[in-house]
Amino acid sequence: MMNLELSEQEVIRRQSLEELRKLGIDPYPAAKYEVNTSSDEILSKFDPEKNNFQEVSIAGRIMSRRIMGSASFVELQDDKGKIQVYFKRDNICPGEDKTLYNTVFKRLLDIGDIIGVKGNVFITKVGETSVNVTELTVLSKSVKPLPVVKEKDGKTYDAFTDPEQRYRQRYVDLIVNPQVKDVFVKRTKIMNTMREMFNERGYLEVETPILQPIPGGAAARPFITHHNALDMPLYLRIADELYLKRLIVGGFDGVYEFSKDFRNEGMDRTHNPEFT
């Protein structure tokens, strides 16, 4: 068994994890946390004159925080963007027990943790739309530290920009580099548009075999595997063209497939062994 050496931050986070459990707080609750809005909806639609966001419930990841005694600010990032949330000790701990603020929020929560908050929306003295929190729920404790990207005077410091790390840790890249998420969203929208176009024209979406007894449809070296039950070699498809043509022969006027193909050859920025 591998003996993984933990960094100092990882050790501290694991200790915080255990302390949360000792306080009776499940750091990974299975129950769904209900949200009724998102960061971008609040920022784009909040009207202080109408006071139209009185009871909001949102969830997101802590990206930064400023703790100032009995009051603190957190930058919360959800699926749609970032918003500032305001914590005041007496608001989330109205009784004599201040453990939730003094211990859980100030000491046991870290950047990267996911929380749910409920409260009302207001404008701070500096004009920033924020959520005044009245209820805090721990949704997921992060045991790995995130890269802390800093911005000052229009410059970015400690950015997660190393190409090797970004490709190997795409989940971190998605968290700290929001523009990467836009690529995923655009890809889905493009594929949905293509699918709608084909469907409107009467084409039928199909699925063809990924494991094939004979690789064909293109001149490429295939990946080879073995089917134990049939005791025969099989190949990951290098193209779906031949199976689509069989469907045309069978009587369909038009077919299409968003297929995953595999080619066991060289690779570079424009050629991947696995591609759509």
pLDDT digits (tens, 9 = 90+) for 192-215: 999 999 999 999 999 999 999 988
Residue 6 confidence (pLDDT): 85
Are residues 133 and 43 located together in one domain of the fold? yes
If you count them, how many residues does the chain have? Answer: 276
β-strand partners of 152: 155
Q: Is residue 196 part of a domain?
A: no
Reported as a single tens digit per residue, the pLDDT across 239-263 is: 999 999 999 999 999 999 999 999 9
Q: Is residue 219 part of a domain?
A: yes
Residue 1 confidence (pLDDT): 44
Q: Is residue 169 part of a domain?
A: no
Residue 271 pLDDT more than 50?
yes
Q: Residues of the chain with pLDDT > 70: what percent?
A: 95
How far is the C-alpha of 177 from the C-alpha of 167, rounded, in Å? 13
Q: Is residue 1 part of a domain?
A: no
The residue assigned the tokens 């939730």 is 100
Q: Is residue 165 part of a domain?
A: no
Are residues 124 and 225 located together in one domain of the fold? no
Residue 265 pLDDT more than 90?
no
How far is the C-alpha of 272 from the C-alpha of 276, rounded, in Å? 10
Q: Is residue 158 part of a domain?
A: no
Are residues 141 and 207 located together in one domain of the fold? no
**CATH number of the domain within which 91 lies:** 2.40.50.140
Three-state DSSP class for residue 207: coil
Three-state DSSP class for residue 240: coil
Residue 138 pLDDT more than 80?
yes
Q: Is residue 175 part of a domain?
A: no
Are residues 101 and 221 located together in one domain of the fold? no
How far is the C-alpha of 93 from the C-alpha of 104, rounded, in Å? 11
Q: What is the DSSP string of 41-71?
A: HHHHH--TTTT--SSEEEEEEEEEEEEETTE
What pTM was estimated for this model as a whole? 0.82
Average pLDDT on 111-115 reads 94
- Other residues' Cβ atoms within 10 Å of the Cβ of residue 110: 17
Three-state DSSP class for residue 248: helix
Please report which confidence band the pLDDT of residue 3 belongs to, taking 50, 70 and 90 as the band edges. low
- Other residues' Cβ atoms within 10 Å of the Cβ of residue 175: 20
Average pLDDT on 230-245 reads 93
Contacts of 81 (CB under 8 A, 6+ apart): 38, 39, 40, 43, 178
Are residues 140 and 16 located together in one domain of the fold? yes
Are residues 14 and 94 located together in one domain of the fold? yes
Q: Is residue 28 part of a domain?
A: yes
What range defines the domain where residue 127 resides? 9-146
What tokens appear for 124 in the block? 């701070």
Total domains present in the chain? 2
Please say whether the beta carbons of 141 and 113 come within 8 A. yes
